A and B are shown apart, each in its own frame.
Chain A
Amino acid sequence: MLAFGYAQAKDLPMGIELLRDTPAALPIAGGTDIIQLLQEGVIAPSELVDINLLPLRGIEPAGEGLRIGALTRLSEIADDARVKARFPVLARALEETASPQVRNMATAAGNLLQRTRCLYFRDATVPCNKREPGSGCPAMDGENRMNAIFGGSSSCIAAYPGDMANALLVLDAELEVQGPDGGRRLAVADLHREPGDTPHLETTLRPSEIITAIHLPATPRSANSHYLKLRDRASFEWALVSVAVALETKDGEIRSARVAAGAVGTTPWRLPLVERRLERGRLDEAAAVAAAEAATHGANPRSQNAFKVKLLRAAVQRVLLMAGGLA
């Protein structure tokens, strides 16, 4: 681990200023991803700017919805009675994230910005276009069981590994961001970038910007929302495939649907065809099967991850049956 400087931001303007002063600086929140990356020699920031003193922790009502401060811990969100009742997909995704210890430390914003689990990215002794642009991608023909089947490019097929972002996609959540040029709103759907030929650029955040909050609008779908995570062991593991769904139903008919999948795309991945199929009928077993069939068009599996194609269809079908009270 290379030496870095440590500075504590006392307020938001100071945090932004500290980041602007030192271009190779990173904000540190819970530290649970950054410290892994430092230990493995994957990153070497010149400074860490500790943002934990900023007043960005807590969950408060915002209109009909909720505003979650960027520094709110995952366990605090998962345990919140309002989140459980009105945004169950989010509570569930977080209950299934990491371990109780990590959930007590990890923050909402840090979770969205966690970096890929691709074995080659996390191993600083091998090439990786994400770590070192132009060095190559051994995952293409190597150990790619955990890699993406959607959104890859010839430079990078690293999967986005997180759980919370998938839930936020189906909840139409937005971020509040503050930077040197003031504040702005950013849809969670616009946060992550597909790799293209610049896989080292992972988000649309601008230099020195700090995420300050997540907004959960109340939609006719949010209370009827579900999360299913499939993994190699029963608990404390990243997903092989996960699916978030939010449905608006009236008199047994689906009025509108949001479906997103995790661990299959290079970003959290919306499934618009599945949504469209759902939006025209009742939710029964046949409808779930037909909708799931549409989940994998455009999938581009590699040597070791073709199983994700089948698993994704099965997961979509299963979570829809759960949503319909049929499983």
Chain B
Amino acid sequence: MSRDNDVPAFEGHKPQARRLAEKALDASRAGDDTTADALFAEADRLDPEAVADVLGEDVATGQRRTSRNPAPDRDASSPEQAGIGRTAAPGQGFRTWSARGTAGAPRTPPRHPTALAIALEVNGQTHALTVDVRTTLLDALRDHLGLSGTKKGCALGQCGACTVLMDGKRVNACLTLAVMADSHPITTIEGLAEDGALHPVQQAFVEHDAFQCGYCTSGQIMSAVGLLTEGRGDSDAEIREQMSGNLCRCGAYANIVDAIRAAKEAV
């Protein structure tokens, strides 16, 4: 194992790819695109990363591209010193795959409250309740207040079954913490009908048979109410685009669009 120190480590095709990329860049600067493309193509074949490096340096000298080489004051001297949302110290902020099944990665215990008393204003009524701060608005509505009209599909913001209005705007209740909804007026499907009369959007859904199993329906209706309040939905294409956050596994989309168009004309 006594390799001489002066033997350079084998770097593969990197040096040659770099040289070609630099020549290509010169050609590009001189306006000779054909030569540049041919040289870049050859360099790409040898080592695309070297080409990307040369291009990155090109940007760094003139126009910035990314912080491939962050300036020293921005650089992280140790993982604890920087990172996304300052959480990246391994084992500090993130639960890790290796921690599964063990007691969990070392992590400071919470210092702030893990349960809170809140007031939820739902459909014009104020409810006082105490929740674990992990509770989503969706779970608070369904499991704490017994308002099961709002549905849980994915719990990840992807299906729209949990759509409610908060401060008059449509939102996903599954991506909202109940503690963050404290004191913000909320409307759910249970709060739409007035004096026993269905809301025009509810009526239109019934008249146009805009559902099959009905699981997505309260979310569809709440989203449609939001859409009409926003003043959108002037064409069928716009209705489809603006309802894209609500999936229907039964595929009742055609009738849903009909119902929304009719409701828009009615109000």
Q: Does A227 contact B (CB under 8 A)?
A: no
Q: Contacting B180 at CB < 8 Å: which of A31, A38, A127?
A: A31
Decide if B93 touches A36 in the complex (CB within 8 Å).
Answer: no
A192 to B70, CA, bound (A): 9
Decide if A298 touches B111 in the complex (CB within 8 Å).
Answer: no
Q: Contacting A201 at CB < 8 Å: which of B21, B53, B84, B244?
A: B84
Decide if A151 touches B52 in the complex (CB within 8 Å).
Answer: yes
A32 to B174, CA, bound (A): 9
Q: Does B11 contact A (CB under 8 A)?
A: no
Taking A189-B64, A198-B76 as contacts, is the C-beta distance between A101 and B172 under 8 angstroms? Answer: yes
Decide if B116 touches A272 in the complex (CB within 8 Å).
Answer: no
Q: Contacting A191 at CB < 8 Å: which of B67, B89, B240?
A: B67
Which residues of B are found within 8 Å of A201, using beta-carbon distances?
76, 79, 82-84, 88
Q: How far is the CB of B111 from chain A (nearest CB, A)?
A: 6
Taking A22-B111, A203-B83 as contacts, is the C-beta distance between A270 and B170 under 8 angstroms? Answer: no
Decide if A27 touches B85 in the complex (CB within 8 Å).
Answer: yes
Instruction: Mark contacts of B150-162 with chain A using CB atoms, 8 A cut-off: 1 yes-contact digit, 0 otherwise.
Output: 0000011100100
Which residues of B are found within 8 Å of A267, using beta-carbon distances?
66-67
Instruction: Mark contacts of B63-85 with chain A using CB atoms, 8 A cut-off: 1 yes-contact digit, 0 otherwise.
Output: 11111101100111001111111
Q: Does B262 contact A (CB under 8 A)?
A: no
Q: Does A253 contact B (CB under 8 A)?
A: no
Which of B27-35, B121-129, B189-197, B204-212 faces chain A? B27-35
Decide if B94 touches A3 in the complex (CB within 8 Å).
Answer: no
Q: Contacting A46 at CB < 8 Å: which of B83, B108, B155?
A: B108
Which of B1-9, B97-105, B140-148, B249-257 faces chain A? B97-105
Instruction: Mark contacts of B94-120 with chain A using CB atoms, 8 A cut-off: 1 yes-contact digit, 0 otherwise.
Output: 111110100011011111111010000
Q: How far is the CB of B233 from chain A (nearest CB, A)?
A: 11
Which residues of B are found within 8 Å of A236, using beta-carbon distances?
244-245
Decide if B82 touches A207 in the complex (CB within 8 Å).
Answer: yes
Decide if B49 touches A115 in the complex (CB within 8 Å).
Answer: no
Decide if B84 touches A203 in the complex (CB within 8 Å).
Answer: yes
Minimal Cβ-Cβ distance residue in B for A4? B110
Taking A44-B107, A99-B245 as contacts, is the C-beta distance between A190 and B79 under 8 angstroms? Answer: no
Q: How far is the CB of A231 from chain B (nearest CB, A)?
A: 11
Decide if B66 touches A151 in the complex (CB within 8 Å).
Answer: yes
Q: Does B176 contact A (CB under 8 A)?
A: yes
Q: Does A19 contact B (CB under 8 A)?
A: yes
Decide if B93 touches A102 in the complex (CB within 8 Å).
Answer: no
Q: How far is the CB of B63 from chain A (nearest CB, A)?
A: 6
Q: How far is the CB of B102 from chain A (nearest CB, A)?
A: 12
Which residues of A are found within 8 Å of B246, using beta-carbon distances?
99
Q: Contacting A7 at CB < 8 Å: which of B71, B85, B112?
A: B112
Decide if A202 touches B84 in the complex (CB within 8 Å).
Answer: yes
Q: Does A104 contact B (CB under 8 A)?
A: yes
Instruction: Mark contacts of A255-292 with chain B using CB atoms, 8 A cut-off: 1 yes-contact digit, 0 otherwise.
Output: 00000000001011110110111001000000000100
Which residues of B are found within 8 Å of A208, using beta-carbon distances?
86
Which residues of B are found within 8 Å of A294, using beta-carbon distances?
28, 33, 36-37, 40
Q: Does B13 contact A (CB under 8 A)?
A: no
Which residues of B are found within 8 Å of A299, using beta-carbon distances?
44, 48, 52
Q: Give chain A interface residues in 108-139, CB to chain B under 8 Å.
A: 113, 115, 124-128, 131-133, 135
Decide if A24 touches B87 in the complex (CB within 8 Å).
Answer: yes
Q: Give chain A interface residues in 50-83, CB to chain B under 8 Å.
A: 50, 52, 75
Q: How far is the CB of A297 from chain B (nearest CB, A)?
A: 4
Decide if A101 touches B160 in the complex (CB within 8 Å).
Answer: yes
A176 to B169, CA, bound (A): 28
Minimal Cβ-Cβ distance residue in A for B75? A204
A105 to B184, CA, bound (A): 13
Q: Does A47 contact B (CB under 8 A)?
A: yes
Decide if A151 touches B134 in the complex (CB within 8 Å).
Answer: no
Decide if B156 touches A39 in the complex (CB within 8 Å).
Answer: yes
A21 to B67, CA, bound (A): 28
Taking A113-B85, A204-B74, A272-B55 as contacts, is the C-beta distance between A43 and B245 under 8 angstroms? Answer: no
Q: Does B265 contact A (CB under 8 A)?
A: no
Q: Does A200 contact B (CB under 8 A)?
A: yes
Which residues of A are found within 8 Å of B198, using beta-carbon distances?
none
Which residues of A are found within 8 Å of B160, using beta-carbon distances?
99, 101
Taking A193-B70, A235-B241, A235-B244 as contacts, is the C-beta distance between A36 and B175 under 8 angstroms? Answer: yes
Q: Does A45 contact B (CB under 8 A)?
A: yes
Decide if B157 touches A101 in the complex (CB within 8 Å).
Answer: yes
Decide if A100 touches B110 in the complex (CB within 8 Å).
Answer: no
Q: Contacting B112 at CB < 8 Å: which of A2, A26, A35, A47?
A: A47
A52 to B183, CA, bound (A): 13
Q: Contacting B83 at CB < 8 Å: which of A127, A202, A276, A277?
A: A202
Q: Which of B65, B230, B240 has the most CB of A within 10 A?
A: B65
Q: Give chain B interface residues in 12-55, CB to chain A under 8 Å.
A: 21, 24, 28-29, 31, 33, 36-37, 40-41, 43-44, 48-49, 51-55
Closest 10 CB pairs of A and B: A99-B245, A5-B112, A5-B110, A298-B52, A270-B65, A44-B95, A298-B51, A202-B84, A235-B244, A300-B48
- Of the A-B pairs whose beta carbons lie under 8 Å apart in the complex, a sample of 16, sorted by A's number, is A2-B95, A5-B113, A24-B89, A24-B108, A26-B87, A44-B107, A46-B111, A101-B170, A151-B68, A189-B66, A193-B70, A204-B67, A204-B70, A206-B86, A298-B49, A298-B53
Given contacts A99-B245, A101-B157, 5 further A-B contacts (CB under 8 A): A22-B112, A105-B172, A201-B76, A293-B33, A297-B51
